[in-house]
Chains A and B, each alone.
Chain A
Amino acid sequence: MNIRPSIILFVSFVAVLIALLLWLHNKKPEATPIAKFPTNGIPQSGATVVHVVAPPATHSNAPSTPNGISVSPTMPPKDQQMRQQLSELNNEDIVFNGKVVDQFASPVPGATVAASIQVNDGTRVGTDEISLTTDAGGSFKVSGYKGKALALRVTKPGYVMAMANTRFVYSLLWAASQRYIPDSNNPTVIKMWKLQGAEALVNISQHFKIPFTNGPISFDLLAGKVVPGGGDVTITVNRPNGQISEQDPQKWSINLQIPTGGFIETSGKESAVTFAAPDNGYQSNGNFENNNGPGLIDKSFFVESRSGQVYSKLRLLFSINSAPSGLMDVSFSGVANVKGSRNWEATAPQEP
C-alpha cells in the first residue's frame, strides 16, 4: 500500500500534538510565567539539554558488555548498602578514659560530665545521654556504649572549659587523622580553667583603610591610630603589581612585627578558650601569605607588646587592595590587658 509522505507527516504531527496536549493537561500549573526573564535570548551551548526526571529507558543500538562489570539484580539496593556500611563502620565501641585538670595541672574532682554518645548505625539516629562525676583524681570513664562519636560537656562551679573541642569521633568512616583512639593507659586530659578573678580588659575594634605602601605601617592599638613608629603592631606589605582579585589571583604577603614584644599565632577557637597570655613562645616577627581566598589574610594571635605592658588576644583581617592604587583594609579585633597582667579571664563565658 502506498501512503503519501504528506499523510505520514500529518499523522506524525497529530500524534506529537496529542502527546503534547496530554502532557500539558497533566502538568499542574504552579507558576505564572514572567516575561522579563525569558530564556530565548540566552546563548545555548553546543550540547543539547534535554530535561528528564529519570534516565530514559532506552538502550544503545550498539550492545556492548561492560568490562569486568557484574550487573546483578541480587546486588542490594543503595540504601541497604549504606545501612550496611553504617552498621559496620559507624557503630564502634565508645570507650573513653578521661581526666579533668585545671591550668595548674591539678585534678578537678566532683565535676559533672555530660556525655552524649552520637549514634547513626543505619537503624537508629540520635544520642544516648549519660551523666558522670569525676572522682578525687579528676578521672571518669565512659564505656559500654556503641556509636559514632562521643561529645563531652564538663561543668563545675568556679571553672570553665578550656578546650575548643570535646567531641571525639570513633567512626571508621572518618579519616584516621580525625578519629579518636582510646588508650586505657593514658587518659585523655580535659582542660578546665579555674577562675582566679577577672581583670578589666580593653576592647580592641579598629578598622583602617590605608593606601598601599611597601614601607612599614605601625598601629597603636590602644589609641586606634596609625603612628609613625613604635605602637603595638607593625605591618609591611609585600604586594606584586597589578590587579588582585578572584579573577586575577596573585600571591602576596605581609610581615608582622611587634616592635617591643612578640606574638604567638593561634586560632580563633583556641583564643576563645585561653584565659591568660602564655608565658613564653613569642616571636618578634613573621611572614604570612594570603591564606583565605585571593584577597584576605585572616589570622589570630596572642600578642605581648610595649615591653610586656600590654597582652592582647588579637584577630587580624587584612584585605589587600584589588588595584595598587586602591585602599587596603585592615581590621584588628580582640581584647587587651593594659596593666601588664596576663589575665584574660574577663573573656571567659559566664557561669550559668
Chain B
Amino acid sequence: MPLVFESKNIKTHIENVNDGGLYWQTTPPELRTVGYYFAQPNGEPLPGDPVFAVTNVTSTGLIAGFGQMSMFAGYAEQMLVNVPTNPVAPYAYLGQYFEPEAYEVGTTNSGGTVSPYGEFLATEPGPIALVTMPNYGENVQGTGIVQVVKLVLDVNHDGVIDLSATGPDNTTANTPYVFWENNNYDRNTKDKDDGVFYDDDVQSGSDYFTRDAAVPDCNFRNGAGGRAIPCARDLQDFARLWIAGMTTNLLANLPAGCTISLNWGDAGYPHPENPTIDLFQAADSDGGIGYLTNGTTAQDQSDFVISPYVGRIGPGSNLVLNASSFANSWAGNHFIWCGVSNGSGGLNLTIANSNGTVLAQTTAYIQIVDIKQMYERFTVGDQPKLPPMTNVGLSTEGLAPGEEGFEYPPPKDTNTTYILYVHGWNMEAWEKDRFAETAFKRLYWQGYHGRFGQFRWPTDFDFEASLIDAILQPHNYDTSEFKSWHSAEGLMSLLVGLNGEYPGHVYVLAHSMGNVVTGEALSLAAAYGEGQIVNTYVASQAAIPAHVYDASVTSPYLIDYSHSAHGIPAPGRIKTPNIYPNRLTNNVFAVGRRISRYNINDFALSPDSWCLDQALKPDQNVALGDGNIWDWGYNGSTNDPAPWNNFFRIYVGSQFDHSLDIVGSVDDFYEVLAYAADPYSTPLGTAPISTFTSVDMTDPANDIWLPDTSGHNYSDHLWHSAEFRGDCWQQWGYWNSLLFSPQFGFNIGN
C-alpha cells in the first residue's frame, strides 16, 4: 500500500518524501499517531481521494457480510510534533497493515481473519474489531469496528439459532437448508361430528365444512386480498430467518441511499432453478420459536396486522427491506418464511450504496422441495376395493408422472433412528399423507434428526360422512378391520427390513386402527422368530380390544351392556365367547418397550361408537358390495372352552352356513375378529393395562395435552386424533414427550 500523506493546511501532496531530493536541508518532519481512520475502499472516500476531507471520521456504518471477503483500509492519523508552537493534528494519514485476527468486540473471541492489506473474512456476525499492526517506532494500534451481518437459519431445527461459523446452522451451496413447500391447506374448519371449530389440514378444493380452501397456503390471501397466513396451524410450515448483526445504529449510519435487499442473485434475470419463498415479520421480538410453542405468539404471528407480510422472493425478484413502506423503513431482523415453489439457490442479503456498489453481501443457501420427497411412504395398497399386498411398495401418489417415491439412501451409521407411523381407519390417501406429514413436521420442530416414514394400508373411508355415519357403515369399519389384520404381514416384512437397516433403532407410532396392523405385525414377527425388530412401540388411541394384551382388564374397562334391558348383542345372536384375551401378548418378543397413550373419554372409542359396533358382532345383514347380504354367527354357547372353532358365515337367503376355521386358517381367524367375535373389553386406547406403560394423555402431570378448557373432558371428536390436528403449539407436549420422554415416549435424544 503506498504511503500517502496529506497536508491539512497546504492542501498539496508531498510524495516520495524519502527520496532525499526535497527539503534535504530541512529538519525531517516528526510524526506521531494521534488517531485512526478506517474506511471501505468501495464505500467511503480514502485519504488522497478528491472528495476526502481531513474532517472525515470513521463511519459507524462500516459493514461486511458473513462468509464473504470484504476490503477495509486503515490509516493512522498523524501530526507533526517537531514544530515550534501550536501543532495541528491531524497532519498526515499513514496507511496501515492489519493484524491477521479480528475479534468480537469486547472479547478475545475470533471474529474473522484479515490479510495485512485489509481483506477481511468475517466468521461471526455483530461488531467485529479489525486491529492494525503498530507503526515502526510506535507502540500503538488502531481498532476499526466493522458491523458484520449474516443471514442465518435454524438449519438443525433445534430451536436455537447458532451464529458461529462452525456451528450447525451454516449452509453452503452443496449443503443447503432443505425445507418443504407450503402446499397444503391449513384452515380453521368445523368438525362434522360435534361442530367444534379447530385448525386442520383439509383437502384441496371445496368441502362443505371447509372455508377458503381454493388455494394452497403459500398463496393464501385474506378477504382484503393481502397475502396472509390462513391460520395458526399453517405456522408449522414456516421456518425462521434472521438478519444477525443489523443494528438500529448501523441502519442509521449506512450511507444515504443505501439499499438492503434479498434476492437469489438473479434480480432482473430470473433463473428458473431458484426457489420462491414468502417472508413475514416475526411476532417473537427475539425471533424465537414462540410461533410454534406458544398460543399467544402463534395468534400474533398469524395476524397480518401484527406480523405483516414482507414480500415474496422468487427467481428474478428483488425484495428491498429498507423500503419506506415498512415501519421505520425497515422490515426487521427476524422473519418467518415458507416455501412457495421448489428450487435451490443462494439467498443473498445485499447492502449496496446509492450507486449500486455492493458494500456487503451474505448468503444463505435454501432448497425447497415437496414434502413427499422428505419422508418414505410405504404402502401395501390404498384402494379399499383391493386387498392389501404382501409386498411393500413406495407410494407415488401425489407425485408427478414418472416420479419415483422417495427413498432414503442407506444410513451413514448404525445409530440412525427411524420412526414409522401407521395410520388408522377412515383415511383417504391424501389424508394419510397429511397425518404423516403433520407427524413429520411436528417431530422436525422438536429437533428430530432421524428418519421418518409412514406405512399405508387400504382402509375404507367415507370422508363425506361424519365419523358416526361412517362407523355405522359396517362395510366400512368392520371391513377395514378385516383389512387391517391382513395388512399386518406387509408391515411385518417392512419392519424386518427396516430393522436390518437401522438395527435396534426402529420406533413405531400407530394410531387408532393402525394398532391392529401393528400389533398383529409384531405378533407375526414374534411367531416367526424374528427377534426384537422394534425398539419402542407407541400405541396411540388404539382401536383394538385391551384384552388382546391384558386378560386381567376388568370393569370399568369392559364392554358391558348387561345393565341395559335392550338387546345387545343383536336379537337372534348369542354373545360369542371371548376369543381375544392375550391374543397379541407374544408380540412383546418383537419389541423392546410398549407404550399405550390412552384417553378414557375418547370420542371414537367410546361406548356409543367403537364399543357399540363391536358389541353388535356377529354382524348381520351386511351388504359388502359383492351383491350378497352377509351374516356371521357362532354355532355354540357363550361359555364354550377354547378353541371356539364354531364360527360361521352365511349369506342371507341361503340355508347353508360356511364354517370358519379359526384354528387352521389365518384368513378365517381375521374374518372372525373383524365380523363375528365380540370383544369383551373396551379398546386399549381407553384403558390402562398392566403389560404396557400406560399414559393418560389427559393427565396434566404428563404434559402431553393442554387442558380441555371446554369442560368436555377430552370427549370431543378432535381428541381422537388431536396430535395430528389443531396447531403445532397445541400439540407441542404430545410430540415432545413422544420423542424425548424416557417413560412415555421413544426416549430419542437429539
Contacts and interface: CB of A to CB of B under 8 A. Distances in A.
B644 to A, nearest CB: 14
Interface in A227-286: 245-247, 249, 267-269, 271-272
Interface in A123-167: 125-127, 148-149, 151-153, 165-167
B390 A166 contact: no
A98 interface: no
B593 A66 contact: no
B673 to A, nearest CB: 13
B165 interface: no
Contact of B713 (A32, A48, A167, A267): A167
Nearest to A64: B657
Q: Which of B429, B564, B666, B701 has the most chain A CB within a 10 Å cutoff? A: B701
B574 to A, nearest CB: 8
B387 A53 contact: yes
A71 B566 CA distance: 20
Interface string B584-604: 000011011111000001000
B472 A82 contact: yes
Nearest to A314: B701
A67 B387 CA distance: 33
Contact of A30 (B383, B390, B571, B688): B383
B711 A79 contact: no
A69 interface: yes
A11 interface: no
A78 B570 CA distance: 9
Interface string A48-81: 1111111101111001111111111101111101
Given A151-B713, A175-B556, A32 B472 contact: no
A30 B702 CA distance: 40
Interface in A84-126: 85-86, 88-90, 114, 116, 118, 120, 125-126
Nearest to B393: A31
Interface string A284-321: 00000000111110101000000000000001010100
A249 B552 CA distance: 15
A94 B194 CA distance: 18
A280 B404 CA distance: 68
Given A69-B635, A83-B472, A55 B649 contact: yes
A166 B711 contact: yes
Given A31-B381, A69-B633, A126-B195, A51 B468 contact: no
Q: Say what secondary structure dominates the interface of chain A.
A: loop
B699 interface: yes
Contacts, number: 300
Interface string A25-36: 001111111101
Nearest to A173: B607
A267 B698 CA distance: 12
B31 interface: no
Given A85-B568, A116-B711, A246 B666 contact: no
B379 A30 contact: yes
B548 interface: no
Nearest to A347: B700
Nearest to B478: A78
A34 B392 contact: yes
A149 B407 contact: no
Contact of B701 (A75, A125, A315): A315
Interface residues of A, number: 97
Interface stretch (A39-47, A180-188, A214-222): A39-47
Given A66-B650, A73-B621, A249-B691, A126 B556 contact: no
Nearest to A271: B701
Given A32-B404, A71-B650, A53 B616 contact: no
B386 A27 contact: yes
Contacts of A78: 472, 474, 570, 613, 616, 619-622
A230 B668 CA distance: 63
B393 A33 contact: yes
Contacts of B665: 47-48
Contacts of B571: 75
Interface in A1-49: 27-34, 36-39, 42-43, 45, 47-49
Contacts of B589: 247
A74 B477 CA distance: 22
Contacts of B489: 39, 42, 49
A181 to B, nearest CB: 12
B405 A31 contact: yes
A177 interface: yes
A343 interface: no
B672 to A, nearest CB: 10
10 contacts: A30-B429, A31-B394, A33-B393, A45-B524, A47-B665, A77-B621, A86-B612, A272-B701, A294-B691, A296-B743
The 10 closest A-B pairs by CB, nearest first: A268-B701, A31-B393, A153-B711, A37-B497, A51-B387, A293-B693, A268-B699, A167-B713, A173-B607, A79-B472
Given A54-B630, A69-B657, A125-B194, 5 more contacts: A36-B497, A45-B666, A57-B628, A77-B623, A175-B563
